[in-house]
Amino acid sequence: MSETVAADLVLLDQPFTAPGVRIAIAPAMMRYALRARDPAVLSAVIGRVLPSRIGDVVDGIACLGPDEWLALLPAGTVLENETGQLVSVVDVSCRAVGITVEGPGAVALVATGCPLDVERMAVGRATRTVFETVEIVLWRKAVDAFHIDVWRSFAPWLGAALVAGSPS
Amino acid sequence: MSGYRLDKGGRIDRAVPLSFRFDGQDFRGFAGDTLASALVAGGQMLFGRSFKYRRPRGLLATGVEEPNALVTVDRGPGRVTPNLRAPSVALHDGLIAQSQNRYPSLKTDFGAINDRLGALFPAGFYNKTFMWPRSAWEKLYEPAIRKMAGLGESPKERDPDHYGATYAHCELLVIGAGPAGIAAAMDAAATGGRVILIDEQEEPGGGALADPAQWAWLAESLAKLAALGVTVFSRTTAIGHYHQNFVVAVERLTDHLAPSQAAGPREKLWRIRAGEVVLAQGAIERPLVFDGNDVPGVMLASAGRALALRFGVAVGRAVVVMASHDSGWRDALAMAEAGVTIAAIVDVRPAVSSDLQAAADALGIAVYLNHSVTGVKGRLEVKAITLCHNDDYLAHTLPCDALLMAGGWTPTVHLWSHARGTLKWDAAFGAYLPDTTVENLRAVGGCSGNWNYGDGIVVATLPSPKPVSKQKAFVDFQNDVKARDIALAVQEGFRSIEHIKRYTTNGMATDQGKTSNLNGLQIASETLSKPVTAIGLTTFRPPYTPQTFGALMGHHKDALFQPLRKTVIDDWAAANGAVFENVAQWRRARYFPQGRESMDAAVARECLATRERVGMFDASTLGKIEVVGPDAAEFLNRLYTNPWKALEPGRCRYGLLLNEQGFIIDDGVAGRMAADRFHVTTTTGGAARVLGMMEDYLQTEWPDLNVWLTSTTEQWAVIAVQGPKAREVIAPLVEGIDLSPEAFPHMAVREGAICDVPTRLFRVSFTGELGFEVNVPAEHGRMVWEAIHAAGQEHGIVAYGTETMHVLRAEKGFIIIGQDTDGTVTPDDAGMNWAIGKKKPDFVGKRSLARADLVREGRKQLVGLLTRDPAVVLEEGAQIVVDPAEPVPMTMIGHVTSSYHSAALGRSIALAVVAGGRARMGQTLHVPMPGGAIAAEVVSTVFYDAEGSRLDV
Amino acid sequence: MLLIHCPYCEEDRPEVEFVNGGQAHIARPADPSSESDADWEKYLYIRRNPRGRHHERWRHIHGCGRFFNAVRDTVSDRFETTYKAGEPAK
């Protein structure tokens, strides 16, 4: 555990490394909150394939709920948004901050605060869950790599909590 | 000086000597020792003073059940831990420990007078004695008792250590790494799946550690477990079993190391979810109850055995074993083989198996069958014992310096009970054993009653010519409960063990009665002549052993205690001298003092600047919800009191939200961005609650509506620019929006750009002045804020905080949810019937507004108050009366909800809820305060610009 | 900490991802204005507090976000079953 606990937390300004883990702020990206009763309608509106099973991710679009998807796309990617359709497409690019946790110790580090069986989470799956008291979207991008999306104002706390939980 | 180190044997490493201090005296030990074993090896039999009678006490046990030997370990400033059990403290070089409950020293304690006066302190003594006079309790009895009672002292400094926490998942969790636990882990590991084996001791092995014959097997098994990939944790105590095999355990990471060697967290909290849990916690030996059973040097036979065989320590030079169980014989024989002189084995039973008898004979150990110990000579250590024949009480004295008790075994069923597993009484064992459970949980080995310790009988108290009432025969050593206290409780009419426990405090000490519960039950059962099962069993609760607060907190301390949410403009506010306040989880700038300006002066300056020129305010914390879909307007129409369907795109409306009970719970402005898209705002604290309520209605009541909700609170930074110069300030920065009053009236919203970034620009006002709320994507918030601040300089712009916001809105009579409302205020109470869509057939809360209590006369209504003395600012929360001369208790008709000094009006203003308030316009009411009642006139809630002319520019 | 089976995610998930939503199967009257005071009071305030089988609402708020219904035994705290909102009581 590292001496990073200050009275006033600031977002990690550079990657933090500890034995087996690297924690960094993900580059800026486009985020869309996507909702629809019928995935086909939404798919047609945004012109993209949607995962149908909760927890699956296709081309950066994660299915979070039966009628809910979160698109985490490279900066500058714009999704079409016609009005009058039976869908909701909302740009929430600035709502969250991405934190990446990578390395052989990544699973153990995420497990310090996430109550899911992170070890058994399949690669490529994403889900909304919590890290201690803070809501996150956890996306396992590789065996040793996670992307954690967290609302902006919680990001300094989450970054510091991950650093505090890192092996010394 | 009784105990000593044997020449050989034990798992200690004699090549690694360690030195340590106990009560200021130097001692030596070896690597592998505990504080307890090293002290006994050094001849220290006196470990502490008892809680109530201050009787000298020694070591009873070598496990977590130890009730007496509580010590304080000092690892430096802030690292002082009281009430540690000496047998659970691993020895390291330089360890510093102190005994507790003694003054001035362990051997001479003034409090020991309590023991001489023992007859004055029977069960229930405190309840019975310190009753009258009542005032003496606070002034005399309680302080005196507090000084005498208690265990170690809590540390006063801040704990500098870190504590970790984690979740873990496994298919099998085995608790207890004795032979049974190891076997269970081995079986499961062979079938694959994740297996975790945890054990509270310094090394795995459990009972096998005190049995050298098993050491080779133990080493081999541990190597095999490692090869099979089983995770084995030592120094890890499972403190509680919760639903669905959720086990919480605490791992002690550094306390066994010298402070200079310790790195990383001190302890780690493991939150383990297991498919199956195997409890292999073993059993705890039961003391025997007889006169003098607490003299230092009287301990459990299992402790004598562990000291000899695991630590190479003899508990005395002439050791007597008092047994009611075969295990005492086996321990005695094992100790004798290890070089301990066993002076005699006494057994309360008339006969034992011929094997045991023969083995004792072979070693030349004197055996007394059908005998009991009826007295112990010596105060600070055992000098001799009195033995009596059970039938004729023929007594004789036997010199010895240690007496070991073997009263049978109590299976450790604590975690089984946490899991709400049922227990069944097993008369043969004289103990409760695990029975049924709804969890995927099983008990193996000693804690399931499955062991090979041999036979025994259960005796409540040893036979003695002395009546129990004359004996100092202890049941609960830590709480100083004697057999006679339990008998007295029964005589006084207590029948249930739950009541007996609370009356006598038996089993209520920090050891939760690990060595006393069953003896207490047996005594109550015998006194009442009822079976044990008719008396019950007290409930075991987590934690299994006492834990540090640090372990439970993990890293949730200081800034990590809980998230403190900050807006993207927070840094600017901090750099510009803002004083902050916390609102919900958010930190918000409260005011911006210049130089050494007071809050009142800063707020007055910010208010006047906003009223006269222009002010800017960070409103980013407001909750925001994007409501999208063809039925968006219909949905808002059903939720909010106001009508929404006719609102045109580009227009805004103030929305009032009730709960179904008809009370105001939130408010905010919503802008219609398109026919099927609304930008809804909520209060800062209500954001999550309102979104949850909306989802609830949408998903469960109106699933037919085609509308979806997205939280955009953190997507947008919001900058309120308010004041007569507001338009002039933003005009040069805005593109694509006609800001003229004709094109962009009050309560309108436009999309365009500001400072070259997209904006949703609202023309709204929470101040009564011309105002805009600039919404920009959060990443641009700071830049736009600074640009507006710079552009405003020529207009004399000020940044203002929440305090000024509160004053400005109060001057206009705008309510703050949760301040002027408290969950019992209806729209009519708040004077806000104008916000109700009169033609709407229904909205959430509408039906309740017609309930009798909500339409009755005399409900509290929101009004304004003007104090007769304009300089006096009423206190928020102060009660309001009609007649200040009325004798106490006065009739209170309401209270002040908001109160400020208004710079614009040059006087104080207040809002209040007052019974029948609107009918009291012009009346003078009174606010009784310690310095006298304050007179105030009831007025309208709108104090400033009642016509609203300042908005219309 | 309970494990709760979310009928939408079709997974057992930790209790901290959920919030309890009170007694289940209490529909908001279609036309509240026609409800008597007594009936409306019942809708607002009167709830069961059974010892044993209890139908209650939960929301997987930190997961898929959906409300669903559950049958929980209030004595053992065991979930008998969970099912999607809108399905008949089990």
Tell me what ipTM this predicted complex has.
Answer: 0.98
| In-domain check, residue B464 | no
Inter-chain residue contact A55 with C9, CB threshold 8 Å: yes
Q: With an 8 Å Cβ cutoff, is A160 touching chain B?
A: yes
Residues B169 and B271 in one domain: yes
Residues B614 and B648 in one domain: no
- In b/e form, how buried is each residue of B806-819, taking b as 16+ CB within 10 angstroms? bbbbbbbbbbbbbe
CA B770 to chain centre: 50
Residues B600 and B728 in one domain: yes
How many other C-beta atoms are found inside a 10 Å radius of the C-beta of residue B887?
Answer: 6
Structure confidence at residue B111 (pLDDT):
67
Coarse DSSP helix, strand, coil percentages of chain B, rounded to the nearest 5 percent: 25, 30, 45
Of B414, B416, B443, B447, nearest in space to B429 by CA: B447
Inter-chain residue contact B710 with A96, CB threshold 8 Å: no
Structure confidence at residue B124 (pLDDT):
66
A16-28+94-165 folds as Gyrase A; domain 2 (3.30.1360)
Q: Locate the domains of chain A by residue range.
A: 16-28+94-165, 29-91
CATH of the domain at C67: 3.30.2270.10
- CATH code assigned to A29-91: 3.30.70
Inter-chain residue contact C63 with A127, CB threshold 8 Å: yes
How many other C-beta atoms are found inside a 10 Å radius of the C-beta of residue B149?
Answer: 12
Residues B631 and B703 in one domain: yes
Q: Can you list the pairs that B781-784 forms with residues at least 24 positions away whose Cβ atoms lie under 8 Å?
A: B781/B567, B781/B568, B781/B569, B781/B620, B781/B717, B781/B719, B782/B568, B782/B569, B782/B571, B782/B572, B782/B717, B783/B755, B783/B757, B784/B717, B784/B719, B784/B733, B784/B754, B784/B755, B784/B757, B784/B759
Q: Are strands B748-754 and B757-763 parallel, antiparallel or unpaired?
A: antiparallel
Q: Among C31, C67, C78, whose Cβ lies nearest the Cβ of B699?
A: C67
Residues B699 and B614 in one domain: no
Count of helices and strands (H, E) across chain A? 3, 11
Structure confidence at residue B135 (pLDDT):
65
Nearest C-alpha of chain B: how many angstroms from A48?
20
| In-domain check, residue C89 | no
Closest alpha carbon within chain C to A134: C62
Range of the domain at B925: 850-939
| In-domain check, residue B325 | no
The amino acid sitting at C80 is E
> Which residues in chain B touch residue C61, judged by CB atoms under 8 angstroms apart?
692
Give the span between the Cα atoms of B282 and B201, in whole angstroms.
13
* Average pLDDT over every residue of C26-49: 96
The token pair at B213 is 């014959």
Nearest C-alpha of chain C: how many angstroms from B244?
6
> Which residues in chain B touch residue A120, judged by CB atoms under 8 angstroms apart?
169
The token pair at B297 is 């040097």
Inter-chain residue contact B557 with A5, CB threshold 8 Å: yes
Residues B608 and B703 in one domain: no
Inter-chain residue contact A1 with B563, CB threshold 8 Å: no
Inter-chain residue contact B777 with A94, CB threshold 8 Å: yes
SS3 B103: coil
Structure confidence at residue A5 (pLDDT):
36
Give the span between the Cα atoms of B581 and B806, in whole angstroms.
13
Structure confidence at residue B152 (pLDDT):
82
* Average pLDDT over every residue of C21-48: 96
Q: What is the dihedral of CA B860, B862, B867, B870, to 10 degrees?
A: 170
| In-domain check, residue B707 | yes
Inter-chain residue contact C31 with B842, CB threshold 8 Å: yes
Give the span between the Cα atoms of B315 and B41, in whole angstroms.
8
Where chain B has pLDDT below 70, the residues are: 1, 103-104, 109-114, 116-150
Give the span between the Cα atoms of B71 and B98, in whole angstroms.
6
CA B511 to chain centre: 19
Nearest C-alpha of chain C: how many angstroms from A115?
7
| In-domain check, residue C25 | yes
Inter-chain residue contact B626 with A28, CB threshold 8 Å: no
Q: With an 8 Å Cβ cutoff, is B782 touching chain A?
A: no
Residues of B (626-645) whose Cβ lies below 8 Å from A: 626, 628-630
A7: pLDDT strictly greater than 80: no
CB B719 within 8 A of CB B621: no
The token pair at B697 is 């209605």
C-alpha dihedral sign at B825, B829, B835, B838: positive
Residues B23 and B64 in one domain: yes
The residue assigned the tokens 């002319």 is B949
Inter-chain residue contact B273 with A28, CB threshold 8 Å: no
Give the span between the Cα atoms of B30 and B797, in whole angstroms.
74
CB B831 within 8 A of CB B905: no
Residues B790 and B890 in one domain: no
Of B874, B872, B868, B858, nearest in space to B912 by CA: B874
Structure confidence at residue B668 (pLDDT):
97
Range of the domain at C18: 3-84
Closest alpha carbon within chain C to A70: C64
A128: pLDDT strictly greater than 90: yes
> Which residues in chain B touch residue C77, judged by CB atoms under 8 angstroms apart?
243
Burial of B103 by CB count in 10 Å (0-12 exposed, 13-18 middle, 19+ buried)?
A: middle
CATH of the domain at B630: 3.30.70.1400
Give the span between the Cα atoms of C53 and A97, in whole angstroms.
43
Inter-chain residue contact A67 with B706, CB threshold 8 Å: no
Of B892, B897, B864, B858, nearest in space to B664 by CA: B897
What total of structural domains would you count in chain B?
6
What total of structural domains would you count in chain C?
1
Q: Which chains touch A (3 or more CB pairs under 8 A)?
A: B, C
